[in-house]
Amino acid sequence: MTNATERRARLAARPDLLRGILRGIEKEGLRVDDKGLLANTPHPSALGSALANPRITTDYSEALLELITGTHTDAQSLIDELLDTHAFVALRNPDEAVWNQSMPAHLPVEADIPVGWYGTSNTGMLKHVYREGLSWRYGKVMQCIAGVHYNLSLPEAAWEVLGAEGDTPTEQRNSGYMALIRNFMRQAWLLMYLFGASPAVSRSFLQRSGIERQFQALGPDTRILPWATSLRMSDLGYKNPIQSDLALCYNDLDTFSARIHAAVTTPWPAYEALGTHRDGRWIQLNTNILQIENEYYSSIRPKQITGRCERPITALRQRGIQYIEVRCMDIDPQAPAGIDVQTSRFLDAFLLHCAVEDSPLFPPPGFCQESQGNFALVAREGRRPGLALARGGREAPLRDWGLEILDHVQPYAALLDQALGGDVHATALETQRAKLLDPEATPSAHLLAQLRDNGAEFHDWTLRQSQAHWAALKARALAPASVADYDEAARRSIDEQAALEASDTETFEQYVARFHAALR
């Protein structure tokens, strides 16, 4: 059994493995008109098929773009691609900006929020009906909250260096990623403090959720929690009382997958009362706790690429964990792409630290209640002076614990700098240290200061920011070859959707039955 110091030394001797780390981004953003209102237009045809374009798709709503990068071996090329994709969208759809904030723009009544449409193929209809189910279960407003998902994988050989002797490569990889997830869960509150950028929201959003009385008024249309870092990741955002009872276990992949399997196969009375059809059309895929695995809202997920009609949990069981997806990052309203290169570099060092450091198992039933409590507290009150968190049953001052975590991350930033050259990862880490020393340097505090100093409403300030970014993205010089590549991907995706629609030989009911049967 090796310790973290030995594992870190092994990695230091293999800089090729550090250079082989892959990272990618999925960034969401609402299309809005010149008044900041939700676009009521279909997904622009110039961007291709939302079903088949691997770079530009939609998430929940027809108006909620999702821009997807390829995988990259360095942070700068990753952010450059994300900026290029934004610039292409601005070039081909110039009259609608992308709302550069996690909490949504002024929304129409729920009935007028369009659910994503992916065509008439069985695959497309499955995506659409799943989203219809989200509408019935959680409401459309919550589904318009946007974020940045950060994906990372280590080379297979890295897990052989870090893993236990005698385990198979797949066992080493699965155990390594689950250990990473446990450490992440313990310390993810720090990301909320450092990068949370959604402490404010328009009043209309809260009126629909019925909890406006908990908030302070900063203007006629602006409501805030004064110490909040991320309303998106608080109980206002992606939280659900039914899901909170799942108590997923992150100690091993088998137990984790078994509990997910139970959630996607166990009926829930409220969803049974809804049924799967209304007025002759599908309204949800089934009446279980989760329609599909991806319905579980979590700050991090183990992932494996799936094929058509393949269930995510089946892919994980059969081929193991391929990468992890960090899902708790707010959109950075100061960055044109919603995330900047310095944040990416810090995340790389932080996640490498999570992968290598000792990661004790969670106590039975393997659920991290203390860690989730810390995460929720920092999302709502992370900048409260003197805030203390729970650490092993004792109180730990947020500032002191955060600085301690950064001290532990520092050697991993140094490893990445040694492998890739320069000192950019160390610089990114020191920028985060400054936020712990001064809460006013955090993105959430900066946003509130901007609103107060300018006497601006949250909606108006965000619209100006978004439009300024959009103007800069329009002016970004894309190489003609790059534009042609994006255009060709869009045309090809439309052809692929048409071919898929023409190739279906079974009814949608049969397809759904086969999709569910894949779990058995």
Q: Concatenated DSSP letters for 134-200? A: HHHHH-TTGGG---EEEEEE--HHHHHHHS-TTS-HHHHHHHHHHHHHHHHHHHTHHHHHHH--B-E
Q: Which pLDDT belongs to residue 164?
A: 76
Q: Which pLDDT belongs to residue 208?
A: 62
pLDDT digit string, tens, across residues 65-124: 999 999 999 999 999 999 999 999 999 999 999 999 999 989 999 999 999 999 999 999
Do 271 and 137 form a contact (C-beta atoms < 8 A)? yes
Number of H helices, E strands in the chain: 19, 14
Best CA proximity match to 124, nearest among 349, 309, 354? 309
Please give the angle made by the CA atoms of 324, 328 and 334, to the nearest 5 degrees: 120
Q: How far apart are CA 4 and CA 8, in angstroms?
A: 6
Ordered by start, the domain boundaries in the chain are 4-201+228-517
The one-letter amino acid code at 443 reads P
Q: Which pLDDT belongs to residue 486?
A: 98
Q: Which pLDDT belongs to residue 209?
A: 59
Q: How confident is the model at residue 384 (pLDDT cuts 50, 70, 90)?
A: very high
Best CA proximity match to 133, nearest among 262, 293, 313, 274? 274
142 or 82, greater pLDDT: 82
Average pLDDT for 368-375: 90
Do 23 and 346 form a contact (C-beta atoms < 8 A)? no
pLDDT digit string, tens, across residues 184-215: 999 999 999 999 999 999 998 887 656 888 89
Q: How far apart are CA 68 and CA 70, in angstroms?
A: 7
Q: Is the pLDDT of residue 1 over 60?
A: no
Cis peptide before 365 (omega within 30 of 0): yes
Q: Is the pLDDT of residue 166 over 80?
A: no
Paired tokens of 470: 């959009």
Q: What is the dihedral of CA 149, 443, 427, 387, to 10 degrees?
A: -100
Do 312 and 254 form a contact (C-beta atoms < 8 A)? no
Q: How confident is the model at residue 237 (pLDDT cuts 50, 70, 90)?
A: low
Best CA proximity match to 289, nearest among 248, 231, 237, 236? 248
Q: Please determine, looking at this structure, whether the domain spanning 4-201+228-517 carries the CATH number 3.30.590.20.
A: yes
Q: Is the pLDDT of residue 19 over 60?
A: yes
Burial class from Cβ neighbours inside 10 Å (0-12, 13-18, 19+) for residue 221 reads middle
Q: Is the pLDDT of residue 385 over 80?
A: yes
Q: Measure Cα distances from 278 to 30, 133, 282 in Å.
A: 28, 12, 7
pLDDT digit string, tens, across residues 404-437: 999 999 999 999 999 999 999 999 999 999 999 9
Q: How far apart are CA 413 and CA 416, in angstroms?
A: 5
pLDDT digit string, tens, across residues 449-491: 999 999 999 999 999 999 999 999 999 999 999 999 999 999 9
Q: Which pLDDT belongs to residue 307?
A: 85
* β-bridge partners, 288: 267
Best CA proximity match to 158, nearest among 176, 171, 182? 176
Helix H or strand E encompassing 470: helix 458-475
Best CA proximity match to 43, nearest among 497, 424, 504? 497
Please give the angle made by the CA atoms of 236, 136 and 151, to the nearest 5 degrees: 60
Q: Which pLDDT belongs to residue 305?
A: 93
Average pLDDT over all residues of the chain: 94
pLDDT digit string, tens, across residues 297-338: 899 999 999 988 789 999 999 999 999 999 999 999 999 999
Q: Which pLDDT belongs to residue 324?
A: 98
Q: Is the pLDDT of residue 365 over 90?
A: no
Q: Which pLDDT belongs to residue 480?
A: 96
Q: Which pLDDT belongs to residue 240?
A: 60
Query: 113-130 in b/e burial notation, b at 16+ Cβ within 10 A?
Result: bbbbbbbebbbbbbbbbb
Rg (CA), the chain: 22
Do 515 and 311 form a contact (C-beta atoms < 8 A)? yes
Best CA proximity match to 204, nearest among 108, 132, 125, 295? 108
Average pLDDT for 283-295: 96
Please give the angle made by the CA atoms of 189, 193 and 194, to the nearest 5 degrees: 115
Q: 276: helix, coil or strand?
A: coil
Q: How far apart are CA 428 and CA 349, in angstroms?
A: 9
Q: Which pLDDT belongs to residue 309?
A: 78
Q: What is the 3-state secondary structure (H, E, C) of 98-127?
A: ECCCCCCCECCCHHHCCECCCCCCHHHHHH
Do 73 and 19 form a contact (C-beta atoms < 8 A)? yes
pLDDT digit string, tens, across residues 238-258: 556 666 666 678 999 999 999
Q: How far apart are CA 244 and CA 8, in angstroms?
A: 35
Average pLDDT for 386-396: 95
Do 11 and 1 form a contact (C-beta atoms < 8 A)? no
Q: Measure Cα distances from 89 to 48, 107, 117, 469 in Å.
A: 11, 22, 19, 13
pLDDT digit string, tens, across residues 24-58: 999 999 999 999 999 999 999 999 999 999 999 99
